[in-house]
């Protein structure tokens, strides 16, 4: 993006009103402002004169920013133009845009480089981390902090005003860029989130003559996710910001924009599954145990309704999973059982205890169980009685599955959660909804669940 001919906001501030046909040297700064932020095409106007193209650009600027659309340089226009703002344009190629494009993945990484001495210690980084959490709480996007050596997607730091990738000289405070494929600063990674440390004071919270890091970071991270500037005054994505001010939560306008870019993954109904007490998946097959009649069933893991085939008994099941060519189930008498997944009746073998299980999953040679007392446990899938190890919490679980390196669970409050399958306590992240789940499993990069209304569903894993 060309940075020559930066507007002087001081020159704009001192400029008296101008109307169509007026010619004054300082008007060139108004024209440079309009050009810099996408309202006026380079070379398409007479410098220093409020000509027709300049009047049209003023009108567009006024309309977008809820000002009276006079097409003149008036006091209201002057006041807004001289407010501090984001360095990214409002329009591109003369076109206003609410969103640019989305990332083609939903797990992003970031790193910090240089902080600012305006704030104590690294409190500015904490403020940016809070802004990241605000966005990831609103849409199924995850941000993980990594080191600069780990190829981060986003690199965050403070810069001189004359920032080499996009100048922030003058009233512009910060800039970011749009996702790969629709960038205006760079299409390489990492994408920048840069704050001008030279010309502005930064603070954590509202402070006189200072800009709140979290407020500005929230705005810039909106660009990183693909949002453009909003014309809704008071929204996070509105391009201007005042000192001594905070806006640390998303408005309805911001939410509708970002949710259009990153919709929640939907469950697709793929058939029936009546009265399910436990579900597992192995090879290309789904297995389920049914409650009332204590039977075990098998069907193909295909995306349409097919019949379940009865392959034996499965009495009083409270949780089921499959691993390494075996089916496992926990029963309401606190026992754990194993059998081959063959399509005929065989006996289940008792391989130990499994107390108060509500759901089971299996991954990478480990069995996982969630219990009624809201704990999560892990044990080896050996045919002997071994101890389960407590690896954290799992509250109010209705169904559990494992896939890749992740555990998934559906809870009785109809949410779907994900965490790493690591042998220690970590938080579950909310990745959407899963209504009325009776049992859940996973296979070949899909999650499956049976619901209490006897339907079988499938969706993509992850956020
Ligand atoms: Ca600092
Ligand atoms: Ca600046
Ligand atoms: Ca500073
Ligand atoms: Zn911006
Ligand atoms: Zn930069």
Cα of 186 from ligand 5 centre, angstroms: 10
Q: State in Å: Cα 203 to ligand 1 middle.
A: 9
Distance 161 CA to ligand 2 centre (A): 5
Confidence of residue 156 (pLDDT cuts 50, 70, 90): very high
The ligand that comes nearest to the alpha carbon of residue 236 is: 4
Average pLDDT over residues 190-210: 98
The mean pLDDT of 237-264, rounded to a whole number, is 96
Q: What is the pLDDT of residues 85-113, one digit of tens each?
A: 999 999 987 777 888 899 999 999 999 99
HEC letters along 33-71: HHHHCCCCCCCCCCCCECCHHHHHHHHHHHHHCCCCCCC
- Which ligand is located closest to the Cα atom of residue 200? 3
Predicted pLDDT of residue 86:
97
Cα of 193 to ligand 5 centre, how many Å? Answer: 7
Catalytic: which of 72, 124, 214, 220? 220
CA of 196 to the centre of ligand 1 (A): 13
**What's this model's pTM, rounded to 2 decimal places?**
0.87
Q: Per residue, what are the HEC states of the chain?
A: CCCCCCCCHHHHHCCCCECCCCECCCHHHHHHHHHHCCCCCCCCCCCCECCHHHHHHHHHHHHHCCCCCCCCECHHHHHHHCCCEECCCCEECCEECCECCCCCCCEEEEEECCCCCCCCCCHHHHHHHHHHHHHHHHCCCEEEECCHHHCCCEEEEEECCCCCCCCCCCCEEEECCCCCCCCCCCCCCCEEEEEECCCCEEECCCCCCEEEHHHHHHHHHHHHHCECCCCCCCCCCCCECCCCCCCCCCCHHHHHHHHHHCCCCCCEEEEECCCEEEEEEECCEEEEEECCCCEEEEEECCCCCCCCEEEEECCCEEEEEEECCEEEEEECCCEEEEECCCCCCCCCEEEEECCCEEEEEEECCEEEEEECCCEEEEECCCCCCCCCEEEEECCCEEEEEEECCEEEEEECCCEEEEEECCCCCCCCEEEEECCCEEEEEEECCEEEEEECCCEEEEECCCC
Percent with pLDDT over 70 in the chain: 99
Nearest bound ligand to the CA of residue 119: 1
Average of per-residue pLDDT across 223-228:
97
pLDDT over 90 (residue 149): yes
Mean pLDDT calculated for residue range 107-128 = 98
pLDDT for 103 equals: 97
pLDDT digits (tens, 9 = 90+) for 296-345: 999 999 999 999 999 999 999 999 999 999 999 999 999 999 999 999 99
pLDDT at 230 over 50: yes
pLDDT one-digit tens code per residue, 38-79: 999 999 999 999 999 999 999 999 999 889 999 999 999 999
| pLDDT for the residue 2 | 47
Q: Which domains does the chain have, with CATH numbers?
A: 9-82 (1.10.101.10), 107-261 (3.40.390.10), 268-459 (2.120.10.30)
Residues with beta carbon < 5 A to ion ligand 4? 86, 88
* CA of 161 relative to ligand 5 center, distance in Å: 9
Distance 200 CA to ligand 2 centre (A): 7
Active site residue 264: no
Ligand number nearest CA of 222 is 4
What residues have a C-beta under 5 A from ligand 5, the ion? Answer: 163, 165-166, 192, 194
Average predicted confidence (pLDDT) for the chain: 96
- The residue-averaged pLDDT of 115-121 equals 98
pLDDT score at 4 = 56
């Amino acid at each position: 993006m060309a940075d020559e001919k930066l507007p002087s906001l001081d020159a704009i501030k001192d400029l008296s009103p101008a109307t169509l046909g007026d010619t004054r040297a300082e008007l060139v700064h108004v024209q440079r402002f309009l050009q810099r932020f996408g309202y006026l095409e380079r070379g398409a106007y007479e410098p220093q004169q409020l000509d027709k193209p300049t009047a049209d650009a003023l009108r567009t600027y006024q309309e977008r920013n809820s000002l009276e659309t006079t097409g003149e340089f008036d006091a209201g226009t002057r006041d807004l133009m001289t407010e501090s703002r984001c360095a990214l344009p409002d329009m591109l190629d003369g076109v206003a845009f609410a969103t640019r494009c989305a990332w083609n993945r939903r797990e992003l990484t970031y790193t910090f480089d240089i902080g600012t001495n305006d704030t104590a210690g690294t409190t500015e980084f904490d403020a940016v981390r809070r802004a990241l959490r605000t966005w990831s709480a609103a849409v199924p996007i995850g941000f993980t902090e990594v080191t600069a050596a780990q190829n981060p997607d986003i690199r965050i730091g403070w810069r001189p005003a004359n920032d080499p990738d996009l100048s922030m000289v003058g009233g512009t405070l910060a800039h970011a860029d749009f996702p790969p494929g629709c960038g205006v600063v760079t299409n390489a990674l990492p994408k920048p989130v840069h704050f001008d440390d030279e010309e502005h004071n930064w603070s954590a919270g509202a402070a006189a003559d200072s800009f709140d890091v979290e407020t500005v970071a929230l705005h810039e991270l909106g660009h990183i996710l693909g949002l453009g500037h909003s014309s809704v005054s008071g929204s996070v994505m509105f391009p201007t910001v005042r000192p001594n001010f905070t806006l640390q939560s998303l408005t309805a306008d911001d939410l509708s924009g970002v949710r259009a870019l990153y919709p929640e993954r939907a469950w697709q109904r793929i058939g029936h599954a009546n009265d399910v007490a436990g579900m597992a998946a192995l090879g290309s097959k789904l297995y389920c145990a049914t409650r009332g009649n204590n039977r075990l069933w098998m069907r193909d893991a295909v995306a349409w309704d097919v019949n379940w085939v009865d392959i034996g008994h499965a009495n009083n099941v409270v949780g089921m999973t499959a691993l390494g060519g075996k089916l496992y189930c926990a029963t309401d008498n606190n026992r754990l059982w194993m059998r081959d997944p063959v399509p005929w009746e065989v006996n289940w073998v008792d391989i130990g205890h499994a107390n108060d299980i509500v759901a089971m999953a299996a991954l990478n040679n480990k069995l996982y169980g969630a219990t009624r007392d809201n704990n999560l446990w892990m044990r080896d899938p050996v045919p002997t009685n071994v101890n389960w190890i407590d690896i954290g919490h799992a509250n109010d679980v209705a169904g559990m599955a494992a896939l890749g390196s992740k555990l998934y669970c559906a809870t009785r409050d109809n949410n779907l959660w994900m965490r790493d399958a690591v042998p220690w306590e970590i938080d579950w992240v909310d990745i959407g909804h899963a209504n009325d789940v009776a049992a859940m499993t996973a296979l070949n990069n899909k999650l499956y669940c049976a619901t209490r209304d006897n339907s079988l569903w499938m969706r993509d894993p992850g956020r």
